[in-house]
Chains A and B, each alone.
Chain A
Amino acid sequence: MNTGNLRSAGPGLGRLARTGGVVLLLAAAVALPFVSSSPYVLDVAILMLFYMCLALGLNVVVGYAGLLDLGYAAYFAVGAYTLGILTKTFHVNFWLALVASGLFAMLLGAFIGMTVLRLRSDYLTMVTLGFGEIIRITANNLKITGGPTGIFGIMAPKVFGLSLGQPRNIYFVMLILVVLTTIAMARLGNSRVGRAWACLREDQDAAEAMGINTLGYKLLAYLTGTFWGGLTGAFFAVKMTAVSPNSFSFMQSVTVLMAVVMGGMGSVPGVILGGALVILLPELLRDIADWRYLVFGLALVLLMLFRPVGLWPARRGQEEV
């Protein structure tokens, strides 16, 4: 039905516009630190990249597999804490710690996933919220995580001689990460796995009937998403040089979810846009700062009422909502 929209105008034109656009965007992104001397702009851009990463990760869980997870910040937290604890307390090599962060988050995801994925959608949502809070409270209470103070004084590593403590360097690292992830996620979405996810998202019973191992695929989505969250968390710890339980609250999970929902669930360009917007909009609304969450809440409601597909929806997903 709608999937043919690119074809009707002629294959060449649409494709050209898209590739051209992407190239332009990339060029702008690469040029940014050199064009603008404002450290503020760079800082905002780095935060935008972080949230894009998180949104891409959550997108696999919410967008591809259709699981509304309200505790995503927990994986972000686990990744950040793992990196912090391993590098600061145990003096583990950065790269090892980085991989460990992703793996730990994935492990947690496996544990939670196995518990939760059999539940129906609303229960799954509440339970993930519960787990998110449990993780945060645990991080706040344990000695090894530094209690409420958290871990501070995390040193940035040197990558090819460049210190990641420098904003410009971490900007480029995050940019590369976002680009790679985007390619990977887009590929994933169009693969066999992606199609299986689409199937189970639209009608779980039908998918089961067709022989798709729904639990297995859900778990796969969940593990992918959580690994990604953990990895991003590790980089976050490096950028912030400190990790504390405050950064992993329910509101943090909501913000990432907003990015995914606003941009368009299941749509890679959509969630990237969403990730950028959740950072940008508060900046533009800075004068009415008190009203930020009010506007967020209102935006969510209005969005669901009038444009539930999001600002830049996935092509394939048009029919659902």
Chain B
Amino acid sequence: MSQVLEQLLNALVIGSFYALVALGYSMVYGIIRLINFAHGDLYMLGAFFGYSALLLLGRFSFGAGVTGVLLAMLIAMGMTGGLGVLVERVAYRPLREAPRIIPLITALGMSLFLENAVMVFKPWGASFRVYPVTLGRAGFELFGVHIGYAHLAIFAMALCLMVGLHFFVERSTLGKAMRAVAFDREAAQLMGINANRMISMGFFLGSIMAAAAGVMAGLYYGQINFLMGFLVGLKAFTASVLGGIGNLPGAMLGGMLLGVLEVFGTSAVGGQWKDVFAFGALILILVFKPTGLLGERTAGRM
């Protein structure tokens, strides 16, 4: 029994990461119907910005403490958010009216570009970078399961971010404006909403979520590299589809669900088939319930 609990804990952590990144995917898709291939790479960039920020802050006494970490995370989120907005402005906005295949290819190209830009950028480079600060293994026992403070921190952080985003999108005026643009861009514009600005905001929010996840991954696993975003991005996309694309609570649910699927799948059939599980889930959902578990939230368009 403690094994099952232990695995659930693992699933919770993995799921938190997927959920955070999935949020960004869902948000962007909801607003402009684009699967932003480069989104996983924003997660990676967040981790790297955090890495550099921590290195810099390490010079100060608070560098390794909670303040330092939070500061680094904020810096990473800010920079990645800005980058996300830039990418949208430069590469996606001009192609908004083009046939779907075009921005998809652009996103693919952008992903390649970002990954390799990090690789050739000497201070970051191709090798694995060890995070200057990591969450320890300290924790406590409960029902025979070792629960680390790290686990709790990750989960709590993710939850805070997700709830924060949810409230922002559902309750604030800006959030409402964003949803209006997602629902019907032209009508929203007729109502005086600046669609471009809302779209940029959507990208910003999605990017900061991914960046936060990236920094947390660095802190939790201790190791980052320029390819870390690729697989996570794919899985996060799966998660957002699982929950229903464009649907934020769906993205969160999807992320957790995917974490559970992967973890229990691994115990059942072994680690080498783990990714097959994730992709298999994606295919099954799209074939049998393409609108996802909680239903989609986009205006229909082929």
Contact present between A and B (CB < 8 A) = yes
Q: Are A131 and B283 in contact (CB under 8 A)?
A: yes
Shortest Cβ distance from A302 into B: residue:
B109
Tell me if A138 counts as interface (CB < 8 A to partner B): yes
Size of chain B's interface in residues, with CB distance under 8 A? 43
Q: Are A296 and B112 in contact (CB under 8 A)?
A: yes
Shortest Cβ distance from B274 into A: residue:
A137
Q: Are A304 and B106 in contact (CB under 8 A)?
A: yes
CA distance A167 to B287 in the complex (A): 45
Contact residues, A285-321 vs B (CB, 8 A): 290-291, 293-294, 296-301, 303-305, 308, 320-321
Interface residue tally of chain A, by bracket? 35 or more
Q: Which of B34, B91, B276, B302 contacts A301 (CB 8 A)?
A: B91
Q: CB-CB < 8 A to A205: which residues of B?
A: 302
Write out, one digit per residue, whether chain B residues 217-255 have a CB within 8 A of any chain A CB (1) or not (0).
Answer: 000000000000000001001100100000000000000
Binds A, one of B52-60, B64-72, B116-124, B133-141: B116-124
Contact residues, A51-91 vs B (CB, 8 A): 62, 66, 68, 70
A263 to chain B: closest CB distance in Å?
13
Q: CB-CB < 8 A to A110: which residues of B?
A: none
Q: CB-CB < 8 A to B272: which residues of A?
A: 137, 140-141
Binds B, one of A26-34, A113-121, A151-159, A269-277: A113-121
> Of residues B105, B106, B273, B302, which shows the largest number of chain A Cβ atoms within 10 Å of its Cβ?
B105
Write out, one digit per residue, whether chain A residues 155-196 have a CB within 8 A of any chain B CB (1) or not (0).
Answer: 000000000000000000000000000000000000000000
CA distance A177 to B101 in the complex (A): 29
Q: CB-CB < 8 A to A21: which residues of B?
A: none
Q: CB-CB < 8 A to A300: which residues of B?
A: 105-106, 108-109, 112
Q: Are A296 and B104 in contact (CB under 8 A)?
A: no
Q: Which of A121, A138, A293 contacts B101 (CB 8 A)?
A: A121
> Of residues B99, B119, B283, which shows the largest number of chain A Cβ atoms within 10 Å of its Cβ?
B283
Q: CB-CB < 8 A to A123: which residues of B?
A: 241, 286, 290
With A66-B101, A122-B33, A320-B99 already in contact, the answer to whether A297 and B113 are too (CB < 8 A) is yes
Q: Are B120 and A120 in contact (CB under 8 A)?
A: no
B6 to chain A: closest CB distance in Å?
26
Chain B residues engaging chain A, CB cutoff 8 angstroms: 33-35, 91, 94-95, 98-106, 108-117, 119-120, 234, 237-238, 241, 272-273, 275-276, 279-280, 282-283, 286-287, 290, 302
With A134-B280, A291-B116, A298-B113 already in contact, the answer to whether A127 and B286 are too (CB < 8 A) is yes
CA distance A257 to B104 in the complex (A): 12
Tell me if A254 counts as interface (CB < 8 A to partner B): yes
Chain A residues engaging chain B, CB cutoff 8 angstroms: 62, 66, 68, 70, 115, 119-123, 125-127, 129-131, 133-134, 137-138, 140-141, 204-205, 254, 257, 261, 265, 290-291, 293-294, 296-301, 303-305, 308, 320-321
With A127-B283, A304-B109 already in contact, the answer to whether A68 and B104 are too (CB < 8 A) is yes
Q: CB-CB < 8 A to B286: which residues of A?
A: 119, 123, 126-127
Q: CB-CB < 8 A to A293: which residues of B?
A: 112, 115-116
Q: Which of B94, B100, B112, B279 contacts A305 (CB 8 A)?
A: B94
Shortest Cβ distance from A305 into B: residue:
B94
